[in-house]
Amino acid sequence: METSTAAIGDALPIERIFDALASIDVAVAIYDREDRVVAVSPYYRAMFPEEELSIGLSYRDALRRFAERHDRVRTLGYPDMDSYLDAEIRRHRTPYAHQVYKLSNGRWIEARKVPLPDGGVVGLWRDVTIQREAEAAMLRSKEASELANRAKADFLALMSHELRTPLNAVIGFAQLLERSGGTMATETMSEYAGLIRASGEQLLQTINDILDLTRLGGNGTPMPMALVRLDAIAATCMRITEPFARPRQVTLVNAVPDGIPPLRADGGSLRRMITHLLSNAVKVSQAGSSVTLSAERDPQGGLAIVIADDGPGMTPSQIQAALQPFTQNDEVRSRRMSGAGVGLPLVKTLVELHGGRLMLDSAPGRGTRARLEFPPGTVAG
């Protein structure tokens, strides 16, 4: 410990005070009425070994060293060093001034200034890094919890609509058939049966997609890979999507070139990926527009399957949201299209299990190009 006993006086048991404050991790420096250092606690030197605070040093000089070492002028936005020094000296002379600040080395410091009866000032410093990090962790946890709660509420609201809509249709048409007592015309009965079947298939598809996304999102479920012909898969997907596109007056175009090499993939998963992307494209397309399915090789030897539409397109934030499970694009919501918000996340999961990736190239007003990109190792030839 270094002290100036003449400035402090023999009656002040400074050593005992310093020892007591060190037991609660408080660093101390004492300044006289001229703002010169008259005492520095051992814990201060341990806490700030780089400061070199010596007896007789003026507070302004000590503050200048501190500012230069921790870039305080730029960090706090002062125009120059003198402006910083003047402001901090005023704070230093303010009774019971309190600050919490972060040093350039990442440590958080709490500082207090307490006036002495003779006009001097006592500076007290505590390292509060652990407390600040704990507070930040609690805040992150709170935000994550709130986000999870919002996601749960959104999921429940979305699932309530997506499951109830087809289920209500099934129940409603079944009740009409039941109440008819067998007197309903055969043509009408056949129409209602078809609507019941279509609603049931929609409900089953939604449930299957949710279950598959949950299952596949685990620990990398292995896929049963085999060589599959892309032209045959493409033709099947077009036939599956055609009944959905026809009433919406959307034309499906199969532009997969002849001679495209086979892919090593799970055929069922590949059909689901392409069908999901075709269905999504049809949903957002206006009557009279077209949706095109094509494929192309990339310079590295990989292969991309491309589904392009002339729909409204998406902003980058909408693309990011669309790839998150159980969300829907605002454009889809505004047009009252169905969808549980699992189609694109499921496609993304499936293609990644093949070692590939899903890329969406889109902008408002110019449609969307969805690319399923498969690495060279999955392409035969």
CATH of the domain at 209: 1.10.287.130
User: Considering Cα of 128, then 129, then 130, then 136, what sign does the dihedral take?
Assistant: positive
Q: What is the pLDDT of residue 227?
A: 92
- Residue from 24, 60, 17, 20 nearest 39 by CA: 17
Separation of alpha carbons 190 and 176, rounded Å? 12
Same domain, 290 and 354: yes
Residues 204 and 274 occupy one common structural domain: no
Which regions of the chain are under pLDDT 70?
1-13, 20-22, 151-162, 165, 202, 205-206, 209-210, 212-223, 325-342, 381
Residues 56 and 200 in one domain: no
pLDDT digits (tens, 9 = 90+) for 5-45: 444 444 446 777 777 666 778 888 899 999 999 888 888 88
Is residue 301 assigned to a domain? yes
The answer to whether 270 touches 307, Cβ cutoff 8 Å, is no
| Tokens encoding 32 | 């006289």
DSSP state of 184: S
Same domain, 114 and 151: no
Q: Could you count the other beta carbons within 10 Å of the beta carbon of residue 353?
A: 17
Cα separation values, 346 from 234, 242, 294, Å? 19, 22, 21
Q: Do 160 and 190 fall into the same domain? A: yes
Is 105 contained in some domain?
yes
Q: State whether 343 and 247 are in the same domain.
A: yes
Q: Assign residue 9 the CATH number of its domain.
A: 3.30.450.20
Task: Kindly state whether residue 133 falls inside one of the protein's structural domains.
Answer: no
Domain shared by 320 and 178, yes or no: no
317 three-class SS: helix
The structure tokens listed for 1 are 């410990």
The predicted pLDDT at position 333 comes to 37
CA angle, residues 114, 127, 38, in degrees to nearest 5: 40
| CATH classification at residue 255 | 3.30.565.10
Does residue 221 lie within any of the structural domains? Answer: no
Residue 136 placed within a domain = no
For residue 20, the enclosing domain spans 2-127
From 127, 152, 187, the end of a domain falls on 127
In SS3 terms, 194-259 reads as: HHHHHHHHHHHHHHHHHHHHHHHCCCCCCCCCEEECHHHHHHHHHHHHHHHHHHHCCEEEEECCCC
CA distances to 184, 197, 244, 367 from 188, rounded to whole Å, are: 7, 14, 21, 39
Domain shared by 233 and 347, yes or no: yes
Q: How many domains does the chain have?
A: 3
Considering the domain architecture, whether residues 203 and 178 belong to the same structural domain is answered as yes
Cross-sheet strand order for the sheet of 357-362: 251-255, 290-297, 303-309, 368-374, 357-362
Q: Could you tell me if 353 and 346 are in contact, meaning their C-beta atoms sit under 8 angstroms apart?
A: no
CA distance 150 to 281: 28
Compute the distance between CA of residue 353 and CA of residue 221 in angstroms, rounded to an integer.
8
Whether 161 and 200 map to the same domain: the answer is yes
Domain's final residue, options 105, 127, 149: 127
Q: How many residues does the chain have?
A: 381
User: 216, 251, 269 — which closes off a domain?
Assistant: 216
Is 152 within a domain?
yes
The reply to whether 134 falls in a domain is: no
Tell me which H or E stretch contains 291. Answer: strand 290-297
- Residues 235 and 278 placed together within one structural domain of the fold: yes
Residues in CB range of 15: below 8 A, 6 or more apart: 1
85 lies in some domain: yes
3-state secondary structure of 331: helix
Indicate the DSSP class of residue 340.
Answer: -
Count of Cβ atoms closer than 10 Å to residue 105 Cβ: 9
**Do the strands 251-255 and 290-297 form a parallel or antiparallel pair, or are they unpaired?**
parallel
Sign of dihedral through CA atoms 176, 178, 179, 183? positive
Same domain, 360 and 246: yes
Question: In this predicted structure, what is the pLDDT of residue 213?
Answer: 63
